[in-house]
Structure 1
Amino acid sequence: MKIQKLSWHQKVLLSKEIKLKCRSFQENGYQGVSETELLDYLLLYRWKNRQRLSIKECKSDILHIEPNDFFDYQQLVAQTSPFQLRDWTDIKDLL
Protein backbone atom coordinates (compact mmCIF):
# COMPACT_ATOMS: atom_id res chain seq x y z
CA MET A 1 0.00 0.00 0.00
CA LYS A 2 1.36 3.41 -0.92
CA ILE A 3 1.33 5.63 2.12
CA GLN A 4 1.10 9.21 0.77
CA LYS A 5 -2.62 8.94 0.11
CA LEU A 6 -5.22 6.27 0.77
CA SER A 7 -7.76 5.10 -1.76
CA TRP A 8 -11.39 4.84 -0.71
CA HIS A 9 -10.93 1.07 -0.47
CA GLN A 10 -7.95 1.39 1.86
CA LYS A 11 -9.87 3.89 4.01
CA VAL A 12 -12.74 1.42 4.32
CA LEU A 13 -10.36 -1.38 5.32
CA LEU A 14 -8.73 0.80 8.00
CA SER A 15 -11.84 2.61 9.24
CA LYS A 16 -12.66 0.09 12.00
CA GLU A 17 -9.23 0.44 13.63
CA ILE A 18 -9.28 4.23 13.30
CA LYS A 19 -12.70 4.37 14.97
CA LEU A 20 -11.54 2.01 17.72
CA LYS A 21 -8.46 4.14 18.40
CA CYS A 22 -10.51 7.37 18.50
CA ARG A 23 -12.96 5.72 20.89
CA SER A 24 -10.05 4.55 23.04
CA PHE A 25 -8.69 8.10 23.20
CA GLN A 26 -12.13 9.42 24.17
CA GLU A 27 -12.55 6.78 26.88
CA ASN A 28 -9.20 7.91 28.31
CA GLY A 29 -10.34 11.54 28.47
CA TYR A 30 -9.02 12.83 25.13
CA GLN A 31 -12.32 14.10 23.73
CA GLY A 32 -10.96 16.26 20.91
CA VAL A 33 -9.40 13.54 18.74
CA SER A 34 -11.25 13.04 15.47
CA GLU A 35 -10.86 10.32 12.87
CA THR A 36 -9.68 12.89 10.34
CA GLU A 37 -6.96 14.17 12.67
CA LEU A 38 -5.82 10.65 13.42
CA LEU A 39 -5.68 9.79 9.73
CA ASP A 40 -3.69 12.98 9.04
CA TYR A 41 -1.25 11.99 11.79
CA LEU A 42 -0.80 8.57 10.22
CA LEU A 43 -0.34 9.76 6.65
CA LEU A 44 1.62 12.96 7.23
CA TYR A 45 3.81 11.88 10.12
CA ARG A 46 3.84 8.27 11.30
CA TRP A 47 3.85 6.63 7.86
CA LYS A 48 5.48 9.48 5.94
CA ASN A 49 8.85 7.80 5.29
CA ARG A 50 7.60 4.25 4.88
CA GLN A 51 7.49 3.00 1.33
CA ARG A 52 5.08 0.10 1.56
CA LEU A 53 2.90 -1.29 4.33
CA SER A 54 0.32 -4.02 4.11
CA ILE A 55 -3.20 -3.39 5.36
CA LYS A 56 -2.48 -5.83 8.18
CA GLU A 57 0.62 -3.83 9.23
CA CYS A 58 -1.35 -0.58 9.07
CA LYS A 59 -4.14 -1.99 11.23
CA SER A 60 -1.67 -3.21 13.82
CA ASP A 61 0.18 0.11 13.81
CA ILE A 62 -3.06 2.06 14.35
CA LEU A 63 -3.94 -0.04 17.38
CA HIS A 64 -0.49 0.58 18.90
CA ILE A 65 -0.64 4.39 18.78
CA GLU A 66 -0.17 5.94 22.21
CA PRO A 67 -1.76 9.29 23.13
CA ASN A 68 1.71 10.80 23.59
CA ASP A 69 2.63 9.86 20.01
CA PHE A 70 -0.43 11.63 18.61
CA PHE A 71 -0.13 14.69 20.84
CA ASP A 72 3.58 15.10 20.10
CA TYR A 73 2.56 15.39 16.44
CA GLN A 74 -0.20 17.87 17.33
CA GLN A 75 2.35 19.97 19.21
CA LEU A 76 4.64 20.02 16.17
CA VAL A 77 1.73 21.10 13.98
CA ALA A 78 0.85 23.90 16.40
CA GLN A 79 4.46 25.09 16.59
CA THR A 80 4.90 25.18 12.83
CA SER A 81 1.49 26.64 12.06
CA PRO A 82 1.46 30.12 10.52
CA PHE A 83 -1.40 31.09 12.84
CA GLN A 84 -0.71 32.92 16.04
CA LEU A 85 -2.75 32.71 19.22
CA ARG A 86 -4.34 36.09 18.56
CA ASP A 87 -5.70 34.69 15.27
CA TRP A 88 -7.77 32.10 17.10
CA THR A 89 -11.26 33.18 18.01
CA ASP A 90 -12.42 30.01 19.77
CA ILE A 91 -9.95 28.58 22.27
CA LYS A 92 -12.42 26.82 24.57
CA ASP A 93 -10.73 23.46 23.84
CA LEU A 94 -7.51 24.76 25.35
CA LEU A 95 -9.07 25.62 28.70
Structure 2
Amino acid sequence: MANLKYYDVILEPIVTEKSMELMGEKKYTFIVHTESTKSQIKEAVEKMFPGTKVKNVNTMNQNGKKKRVRGKMAYGTTPKTKKAIVQLTAESKEIEIFQGL
Protein backbone atom coordinates (compact mmCIF):
# COMPACT_ATOMS: atom_id res chain seq x y z
CA MET A 1 0.00 0.00 0.00
CA ALA A 2 1.26 3.45 -0.85
CA ASN A 3 2.18 5.93 1.88
CA LEU A 4 -0.15 8.70 0.68
CA LYS A 5 -0.90 12.00 2.40
CA TYR A 6 -4.47 13.31 2.19
CA TYR A 7 -3.51 16.01 -0.33
CA ASP A 8 -2.05 13.37 -2.69
CA VAL A 9 -5.23 11.27 -2.83
CA ILE A 10 -7.65 13.53 -4.75
CA LEU A 11 -6.20 14.49 -8.12
CA GLU A 12 -9.05 16.37 -9.83
CA PRO A 13 -12.85 16.68 -9.90
CA ILE A 14 -14.86 15.24 -12.77
CA VAL A 15 -17.29 17.71 -14.32
CA THR A 16 -19.72 16.04 -16.71
CA GLU A 17 -23.48 16.19 -17.19
CA LYS A 18 -23.98 13.00 -15.21
CA SER A 19 -21.79 14.17 -12.31
CA MET A 20 -23.66 17.49 -12.24
CA GLU A 21 -26.98 15.64 -11.87
CA LEU A 22 -25.53 13.59 -9.00
CA MET A 23 -24.62 16.78 -7.12
CA GLY A 24 -28.33 17.28 -6.39
CA GLU A 25 -28.09 14.11 -4.28
CA LYS A 26 -24.87 15.37 -2.62
CA LYS A 27 -22.69 12.95 -4.61
CA TYR A 28 -19.40 14.28 -5.95
CA THR A 29 -17.08 12.59 -8.45
CA PHE A 30 -13.27 12.76 -8.35
CA ILE A 31 -10.29 11.16 -10.06
CA VAL A 32 -8.15 9.76 -7.25
CA HIS A 33 -4.73 8.12 -6.90
CA THR A 34 -4.80 4.55 -8.21
CA GLU A 35 -3.50 3.06 -4.94
CA SER A 36 -5.79 4.98 -2.57
CA THR A 37 -8.36 3.16 -0.43
CA LYS A 38 -11.91 4.16 0.43
CA SER A 39 -10.93 5.21 3.95
CA GLN A 40 -8.10 7.39 2.58
CA ILE A 41 -10.51 9.04 0.13
CA LYS A 42 -13.01 9.70 2.93
CA GLU A 43 -10.30 11.24 5.13
CA ALA A 44 -8.99 13.38 2.24
CA VAL A 45 -12.43 14.83 1.40
CA GLU A 46 -13.18 15.64 5.05
CA LYS A 47 -9.79 17.37 5.52
CA MET A 48 -9.66 19.24 2.21
CA PHE A 49 -13.23 20.57 2.42
CA PRO A 50 -14.01 21.71 5.99
CA GLY A 51 -17.54 21.10 7.24
CA THR A 52 -18.15 18.04 5.07
CA LYS A 53 -19.03 14.61 6.44
CA VAL A 54 -18.74 11.63 4.12
CA LYS A 55 -21.48 9.00 4.27
CA ASN A 56 -20.30 6.61 1.56
CA VAL A 57 -17.48 6.17 -0.99
CA ASN A 58 -17.79 4.11 -4.18
CA THR A 59 -14.68 3.50 -6.29
CA MET A 60 -14.02 2.04 -9.71
CA ASN A 61 -10.79 1.21 -11.53
CA GLN A 62 -10.61 2.10 -15.21
CA ASN A 63 -8.06 0.50 -17.52
CA GLY A 64 -6.22 2.65 -20.05
CA LYS A 65 -7.50 2.92 -23.61
CA LYS A 66 -5.60 1.39 -26.49
CA LYS A 67 -4.07 4.11 -28.72
CA ARG A 68 -1.83 4.19 -31.77
CA VAL A 69 1.66 5.48 -31.13
CA ARG A 70 2.95 8.24 -33.44
CA GLY A 71 0.70 7.23 -36.32
CA LYS A 72 2.47 3.89 -36.80
CA MET A 73 1.03 0.43 -36.50
CA ALA A 74 2.40 0.14 -32.96
CA TYR A 75 -0.07 0.39 -30.10
CA GLY A 76 0.22 1.63 -26.56
CA THR A 77 -2.20 2.38 -23.74
CA THR A 78 -3.15 5.48 -21.80
CA PRO A 79 -2.59 5.39 -18.02
CA LYS A 80 -4.98 3.57 -15.68
CA THR A 81 -7.23 5.78 -13.56
CA LYS A 82 -9.40 5.38 -10.49
CA LYS A 83 -12.69 7.20 -10.05
CA ALA A 84 -14.45 7.82 -6.73
CA ILE A 85 -18.05 8.89 -6.11
CA VAL A 86 -18.32 10.43 -2.65
CA GLN A 87 -21.74 10.81 -1.01
CA LEU A 88 -22.08 13.37 1.78
CA THR A 89 -24.49 13.22 4.71
CA ALA A 90 -27.68 15.29 4.69
CA GLU A 91 -26.43 17.79 7.32
CA SER A 92 -23.02 18.20 5.64
CA LYS A 93 -21.90 21.37 3.89
CA GLU A 94 -21.68 21.31 0.10
CA ILE A 95 -18.29 21.28 -1.63
CA GLU A 96 -17.62 24.82 -2.81
CA ILE A 97 -15.46 24.10 -5.87
CA PHE A 98 -18.56 22.89 -7.69
CA GLN A 99 -20.63 26.00 -6.94
CA GLY A 100 -21.45 28.20 -9.93
CA LEU A 101 -20.81 25.54 -12.58
Task: Name the TM tier (shorter chain).
Answer: under 0.3
Normalising to structure 2: TM-score of the pair? 0.26
Compare the two structures and name the one with the higher helix fraction.
Answer: 1
Select the structure of larger CA radius of gyration: 2
Relative contact order higher in (CA < 8 Å, ≥ 6 apart) = 1
